[in-house]
Structure 1
Amino acid sequence: MDDSLIESSDLSLARKSVIPGEGFFIPDSLEESQEEQAAAEALDGASVAVVADPDADGLACVALIRELYGDDPPADGGDDADAPDTAEDDSSDTESDLSLDAVVEDAPGRVSHDVALVPAGPHDLEDGIEYVAEYGTEGIDLFVCDLCPDRYEYVEDELDAAVETADTVRWFDHHQWEDDVAAAVRDAGAELVVGDSDEECSADVALRSLDHDFPRHYTELAAVTRDHDLWIREDPRSDDLADFSYWSDAEEYVDTVMRHGPDLPEEVVEFIEEQRVEKEALIRRAVDRADVREIGPWTVGVTYGRCSQNEVAEAMREKGADASVVVKPAGSASIRGTDEFERCHEVARQVNGGGHPKAAGCKPDIYDDMLDYANHWTTRGAVTKQVILDAFRELVPEDVADGEPTDSDGDQ
């Protein structure tokens, strides 16, 4: 395939808004091979491993654990500032056309850390744990942060292998855990600490669980991370952290917050502001494309596009939506709730996902070939929308559902 066909930098916003970023078109086998190689290199010689979601919350946990073990960031700048980031990220589907090379001069190559970061998302958690079992040294300390398996069998074999390799396995999270899954993880030998998802982010859980006198900027980092992760949005720095974690390399983010906490340096803030010009334009397109459905007692906003879903959901909430669904070009979707709807995780679990009562994600298992994806892009996610809206209907009380009209999709 001609590289120019998947290159996003020269696309108009109208086209960029409705098709996936470049990472989507990289075959899973190639991406998995690259991830495995990167994990093996990171784990080589490391005495501690952290399998973490590479968003602001998961990476804050990495920063705390590196501080605990005295694993300082390099003195001359961040790691891998020039490394390409091709992964599709469900937390913010805007794709950067800039590089941190613009703000980090003479970036060094990969710096080995005694505390190795193994990035993993909800759908490849088992791979991250498996890499530690395979490439980690005997007696390594393993941490798993900001990740929750929907079913224990998804991680059963990998966790058993990791427990055999590791001296200790500690797991910090704040998602909604099924009781049987939590019990099975503990029975396997992991020390699991799950915080209240309405009160704590995973960084909060790690901060209170690690026996260490952390400098004040780490306490502030956890608080500001919580402000964004729980969608409190009272601290303007929290949006900066969330955007920086998305637009930067994971190692660069960790190194920066270890030095500065939530008060990012001026050159990074300038970089973020430059990136936000396009981000805001993509948000506006998704909001303009939104539709509203009445499902039982709830008003549900639904839209499609490559965008930052939290801001889009907030705009739909301001227009009266009790819950919002943002369907992404890559096939996944984000579900956001309000005080009037705190069952997002129940919706997501019906369609191959999970999360929190007010914030969840999923990717319906409806894509059999590229023709299905082509239909997804040209119809602006019509089938995915319908599947998720049907999941909302499953939650409607019977006395309310009787006589409820069937919705139809007509988004443009």
Structure 2
Amino acid sequence: MGEPRARGRFGEYGGRYAPESLVEACREVEAAFREAWADPGFRGALAELLTLHAGRPTPLTPARRLSQELGVRLYLKREDLAHTGSHKINNVLGQALLAARMGRRRLIAETGAGQHGVAAATAAALLGLEATVFMGERDMERQALNVFRMRMLGAEVVPVTTGSRTLKDATSEAMRHWVGVTGDSHYCVGSVVGPDPYPWMVREFQRVIGDEARAQCAAELRTGVPDHVVACVGGGSNAAGTFAGFADTPARLTGVEAEGAAGAARGRPGVLHGSHSLFLQDDDGQITPAHSIAAGLDYPGVGPEHAHLRGLGRARYVTVTDDEAAGAAIRLARTEGIVPALESAHALAWVIRAAGDGELAAGSTVMMTLSGRGDKDISTLKELL
């Protein structure tokens, strides 16, 4: 999982499909990122923030009771313990530092579950930047706690009332807004989606998950590498960062999507939000609505590198239902004392199912990224208990 080919391509996927005004803005972001990523000073400043502000490294926690029940050795990479409660802070701190380096005074962000928005608002407050976050009206209703957190941190939260009023529409509005303010604002994309260089750049900022987990597994496991590496996938940033640490190992990589938002598992090639990838579409090529109990997975496609990994057969992509995810969240809470985000619970639901039907061999080792904590989902989970 290295740098994309010319024009931001991962195999046949990726690219830069954007209005002319944004093409130049993307070129500026790419040039700035290449320069920054090669600068030890920038890398050192980011590492310091990740340690002192975000709380890295996050631990690799053995899920002992649940492992005993499932007959496998399950380890959780605890991104829920990072500051703001998810992996999103890793990417946002990197992009906020980049924005400041570019002389931008404001961050623009889209958010579904609200975690990326909270992280963007947090980084903006830390570095003295302004923040404007676009969020679907439906997601604002089901993630009211995160809306309050963003506003408390000083961000402007803009309700998006078009379309399905979820993440896809919030992303569209954020990109439209960026067209008119490229001179003083940086669009802080939250996942490995969008026009080049965002899929690559976001993956590199999230690679810290996989690199840490690889080192932790080497110290913890007799074999040094787990048999399976699992992560939930919406756009796919936590999975991309996780997989990057294990791509050159024998570990089997599995991305878990929501049944109603399975872009990688069931999508077809198309273009959305500036990138050529796999998306849910009708027979006329129109993007069809996605659905997930987890707002962060409620996206009709997947990042281009995931589409490429699927095509290569290096990673597989599977789905679980809303009910399976909710059940997994409750089970983890009751066996390990951890309340996961509903996004993360999708990955756990697949592990539970695969262990039960024998797809995961007895005694095999599974490293799963727990991408976030479930505080934001309490109102949804309350209805299930």
TM-score under structure 1 length normalisation:
0.33
Q: Which has the higher contact order (CA 8 A, sep 6+)?
A: 2
Mark the structure with the bigger radius of gyration: 1
Whichever structure has more helix as a proportion of its residues is 2
